[in-house]
Chain A
């Protein structure tokens, strides 16, 4: 166990290198900054507690993300029954310093995106975020999600299709509402 002495140094390094990416994954997954921060902390606590099982330094990023995915899904399960439209997500826009009109427009769009993403099933959500936001390769994504590369490809396309459909449909609705 050569790393025991440097545990503190090691976690410091891992955290500094990866916290931003992990946070970005989690904010897109959970849609709420407070949750994303709490979950980020949880991820690195788990990294620390399982530091003896770190595979190799090459794979460490995907390993951390596989933990992040578990943390995110666990969180989703806990929260499933509470509404996705709790004030948490929308409250965070109120303090933005912009013209009221702009806020409304921007918030409409953000609401739309948020709704679309949060309606995706967790596995699809994870695939889309890992590939699109964190820019992992198909191979890396398949490692993180513990599934085959072809499943990653198929799920990614289905998820994007669904997302696009939801965004298109919703934007039509918004326009119609505006006209009416």
Chain B
């Protein structure tokens, strides 16, 4: 940067604009028609990481714009749901068969579930949201969904504040498993990104997919151990329940947060494998549509 300022001084009189930074050999970019399932250009993504951080913080910044209770709204939804479900605590606690207070069980489930659904939907719609940019400026298109995911992750961080308070109130300390929390979050992020990318590409083909995703997530809520425990599942629905990858994630999350929960190794492994497969599928489809996104929007 020192060369820049020096050159700037010498040219100050004549040029309005800053002096150029001389690059000895400029990078060459080859523009070609998209070729099938080409490799994702991760180097390009890394080169544009500045945009990723900016977009993410931008999304966070405008999310609660013009709201006096900005921070409150970030955590309001799970808290309100919690208040509603509080009424059923007597009903649930008897058959829940868990060692922690019902509010903690439900709130932790709701936080994770909302994180998953919100980020999946945000990712799926991210291209539409950034349409104006995508049609006018080049940047790796993956930045759009990734920044949506990061912004939602920030919200999750906020939602953990009331959770910690609840844990203090009910006197439920975390055990050493809590060190696994980042890994669990990563798994949910991967799952969310995979599913979201898949749908973000599909939505470009037809808006129907937006409805389908909403429907899937709605069904998923009832199939996930958010406000009930797996022991309450009727055996008829067991297959349906165990095929839901969020089940393992939700139970693992409780096991990590609260002591006295068994870590569901098998179902979490299933969730992880499925998440990775889904991410690859999502990336492939996204890559396939990436080049022509601007034409389709």
Q: State whether these chains interact.
A: no
